[in-house]
Amino acid sequence: MTEVTVIGLGPMGQALASALLAAGFPTTVWNRTKAKAEALQRDGAKRAETPGDAIAGSDVTLINVVDNDAVDAIVATAGDAVAGRSIVGLASDTPDRARSTAAIVEGLGGRYLDGAIMTPVSTIGTSSASILFAGPRDIYDVHRDVFDALATTGWLGDDYGRAAAYDVTLLDLFWTSIAGFVHAAALARAEGIALSDWLPHAQGMAGILPPLFTDFTERIEHDRHDHASSTLSSIRTSLDHLISASGTRGLDAVALRAFRGDVDRAISNGHGDDEVSRLAVDLAS
């Protein structure tokens, strides 16, 4: 069976190593803080003393640390041990950082595949987990047995940055949604609304979004924003109300004001009757 190394034993790295052990893969681990390896050692993992030993000891090494600066530092410490090895970087970072880590690994004579873990720790080892990969297809194919033990996976192409591009764009959507939720919850509380009364309405609002995403995607792809269900001019009026209501309760509305700035620019460019999908085209041009 493929011998696997997991470097980085934060909550995600621990979950990855546990899933590999549960699936029967001989698993070596290394973490900067040694104590985090103890539970995994009790479950059968072998702990390496150095990143170089960890990488040299296995067919494929998964590196799951905080970001690609940390990945690069670990790879640099391993040095010559990287030659001839397959390194799979699973830290979240930018597309350019995925590409530069690939260049560092290849400069040391290794091969690199980048991966983006799209789901939380609790999913790892089940089909609900999702990991997207980008880089040389043959590395993905050769180690499919390892990846299948962790998640449902997909390969996005040769560009080392492509998985990170999916990651940053989907996290953009996720965190701006969470930012909207916490701001709205703060305003609801400031208005004296019990959040338990408010929550079903917030969840209903979230349910409206998927069909809107479908409609907006078609509009953006065809650059057609006419026959709006809600015009940019109408949205500006609504945003003014939200900013005013927030101010009345002493709440910062910086994100709403930034969004209103985008809407204002589109209106002053003559797009006041357009659907909000217009902004995706304007922002990218």
Ligand X SMILES: NC(=O)c1ccc[n+]([C@@H]2O[C@H](COP(=O)([O-])OP(=O)(O)OC[C@H]3O[C@@H](n4cnc5c(N)ncnc54)[C@H](OP(=O)(O)O)[C@@H]3O)[C@@H](O)[C@H]2O)c1
Binding site for ligand X (CB under 6 A): 8-13, 31-33, 36, 64-67, 70, 73-74, 91-92, 117, 120-121
- Residue closer to ligand X by CB (options 73, 173) is 73
- Residue closer to ligand X by CB (options 38, 252) is 38
CB of 66 to ligand X, least distance (A): 4
Give me the residue whose beta carbon is nearest to ligand X.
10
- Residue closer to ligand X by CB (options 91, 134) is 91
Provide the terminal-to-terminal Cα distance of the chain, rounded to the nearest Å.
Answer: 50
210: Cβ–Cβ under 8 A, 6 or more apart, which residues? none
- Residue closer to ligand X by CB (options 76, 206) is 76
- Residue closer to ligand X by CB (options 94, 233) is 94
Please list the alpha-helical segments (H only) found in the chain: 11-22, 38-42, 51-56, 68-78, 95-107, 137-142, 144-148, 162-190, 195-222, 232-248, 254-266, 278-284
CB of 44 to ligand X, least distance (A): 20
Beta strands at 86-89 and 27-30: parallel, antiparallel or unpaired: unpaired
CB of 207 to ligand X, least distance (A): 24
- Residue closer to ligand X by CB (options 64, 231) is 64
Strand partners, 154: 132
CB of 148 to ligand X, least distance (A): 18
Identify residue 219 by its one-letter amino acid code. Answer: R
Strand partners, 134: 114
198: Cβ–Cβ under 8 A, 6 or more apart, which residues? 185, 188
Neighbours of 251 (CB within 10 A): 17
Q: Name the 3-class secondary structure at 113.
A: strand
CB of 92 to ligand X, least distance (A): 3
Which contiguous run of DSSP H or E holds residue 66? none
Q: What are phi and psi of 25, to 5 degrees?
A: -80, 130
- Residue closer to ligand X by CB (options 163, 232) is 163
Whose tokens are 């950082």? That residue is 97
Q: Is residue 251 within 8 Å of 186, Cβ to Cβ?
A: yes
Beta strands at 46-47 and 4-7: parallel, antiparallel or unpaired: unpaired
CB of 6 to ligand X, least distance (A): 10
CB of 129 to ligand X, least distance (A): 10
